[in-house]
Amino acid sequence: MEASSITCQIPSAINDIHLIKHALPQWTNVEGQVLVKFAASPINKVDMMVLSGSYPVSPSATHDGAPIPGFDGCAVVVRSNSSRFQPGDLVIPARLGLGTWRTHAVFPDENLIKLPRDTPPLAAALLRSNVAIAWLLLHEVIPLKAGDWIIMTAGTSCVAHFVVQFAKIEGVKVVLVVRDSEEAEEDRERLLGLGAEMVLTEAEVVARPSFPEPIVLALDCVFGPTGEALLDVVATGATYVLLGVLRGINETVILKAKHLFTKQITLRTFRGSAILAQKEDGGVEALFDGLAQMFVDNLLTIPEIDVREWPVDESVMREVLERVQANTPGTRKCVWLFKDD
C-alpha cells in the first residue's frame, strides 16, 4: 500500500500546497495505537481558515515537518493495538487538528470515536461540522416543540439541509431563506421537497412577510439587511442566533430598542464546539453514534456534494481549494473521497 498526504505551509499560498506520496506511517506497536485509512474528508470553512492562517488552532499532524491540514473526516481502522477498536471499525477524529487530508494515519485510540460500521462514509465525514451542528441548533439553543416555527438563512447550505430534516422528524416548521439568484426558484422547489415549510428569497424576507404562526427562532448566516429583517419578522420573545457572516464580518444591523425592549428578542451567537466540549464523558460519542445510526436507518439523506476522488491531480486540488476559498454563494460542499485499495 502506498500512502499520500496533502502538506502545506501555514499560512499557505495555494501553490505551496502539495499532494505527496510516501510510505505508510510507522507502526511501532505501542499500546493503544491505531492505524487508520481515511474514507472521506470534507473541505470545511475551518480548513480554509487554517490554510490562510486565520484560525487559532493549527494542524498538529505533520509529514516530514510539513503540516497536514484537514480537521474533519472519517476513516476505517486497518490495524489496532487498542481493545477499543477492531480492523474495519469506522472512526472519526475526537478532536481538531489531527490531519484528515491524507490516506493513512496512526493515532492513539483516545483520538478516535467509533461510529456504526455501515454509516455511509460521506455522512460520517459531515457528521461533526454539519449534522451535529444542525442537531445542536435545534436542541441546544431554545426548547423547541412540535408545531414551533423557525427561520434560517443560507437555506441551500449543508447545515440547513440537516436542520430541515431533523425539524421535520420533530414536527418543527422551518422557513428557509435563499439568496436572490437565478437559481432561487429551483432552490425553492428542491428545499420544499426536502421538507421546508416555506422557502423565501432574501428580498422576500426584507419585504417583511407575515407567517401563519409566530417565529420563535432565527438562525442567521448572513447578517446585514437580511439579519435586520429577521429581527422584524420573528415573534415577541424570540431568539436570534448569528451562525455565520456570509456577507463578511464588516456587516452591520440597525438594532432598534424595540427589538430588545418591546419584542424582548435575545441575540447571540452559537459555538457547537463549545457545547460539545461541555458534554459529560461519553455524551459526544453517544450523540455522534445516534446521528450516524439515523443515516444507517435511512432517516436522513446526504445533500448534493462535490465529491473529488483521492488521489487528485495537484492542479485539480488547487482549483477545488480556490473555489472553496472564494466561497461563492451556492458552492457545494466538497469532499475528498478516498479510493478503496
Specify the residue, 277 or 307, whose C-beta has the smaller distance to a second copy.
277
Residue 255 makes contact with a second copy by CB under 8 A: yes
Specify the residue, 256 or 323, whose C-beta has the smaller distance to a second copy.
256
Specify the residue, 87 or 237, whose C-beta has the smaller distance to a second copy.
237
Give residues 297-326 in contact with a second copy (rule: CB under 8 A): none
Burial class (CB in 10 A: 0-12, 13-18, 19+), 197: buried
Q: Which stretch binds a second copy (CB under 8 A): 4-12, 52-60, 255-263, 295-303?
A: 255-263
DSSP code of 235?
Answer: P
* Cα–Cα distance measured from residue 22 to residue 305, given in angstroms and rounded to the nearest whole number: 29
Q: Which stretch binds a second copy (CB under 8 A): 13-21, 72-80, 268-276, 278-286?
A: 268-276
Residue 262 makes contact with a second copy by CB under 8 A: yes
Q: Which stretch binds a second copy (CB under 8 A): 53-61, 80-88, 186-194, 264-272?
A: 264-272
Beta-sheet pairing, 239-242 with 215-220? parallel
195-199 contacts at long range (C-beta below 8 A, 24 or more positions apart): 195/164, 195/165, 195/167, 195/168, 196/155, 196/164, 197/149, 197/173, 199/155, 199/175
Specify the residue, 53 or 290, whose C-beta has the smaller distance to a second copy.
53
DSSP 107-147: EEGGGEEEE-TTS-HHHHHHIIIIIHHHHHHHHSSS---TT
Specify the residue, 48 or 106, whose C-beta has the smaller distance to a second copy.
48
Q: From the list 154, 196, 219, 242, which residue makes contact with a second copy (rule: CB under 8 A)?
A: 242
Residue 264 makes contact with a second copy by CB under 8 A: yes
Q: Which stretch binds a second copy (CB under 8 A): 8-16, 137-145, 154-162, 251-259?
A: 251-259
Contact 238, 220 (CB under 8 A): no
Q: How far is the CB of 303 from a second copy (least distance, A)?
A: 24
Which residues are catalytically annotated?
A: 55
Specify the residue, 61 or 265, whose C-beta has the smaller distance to a second copy.
265
* Cα–Cα distance measured from residue 230 to residue 153, given in angstroms and rounded to the nearest whole number: 9
Residue 207 makes contact with a second copy by CB under 8 A: no
Q: How far is the CB of 195 from a second copy (least distance, A)?
A: 28
Contact 258, 233 (CB under 8 A): no
Residue 232 makes contact with a second copy by CB under 8 A: no
Residue 266 makes contact with a second copy by CB under 8 A: yes
DSSP code of 102?
Answer: B
* Residue (of 106, 124, 107) closest to 115 by Cα position: 124
Count of C-beta atoms within a 10 Å radius of residue 62: 12
> Cis peptide before 143, with omega less than 30 degrees from 0?
no
Q: Which residues bind to a second copy, rule: CB under 8 A?
A: 223, 242, 244-245, 248-258, 260-262, 264-269, 271
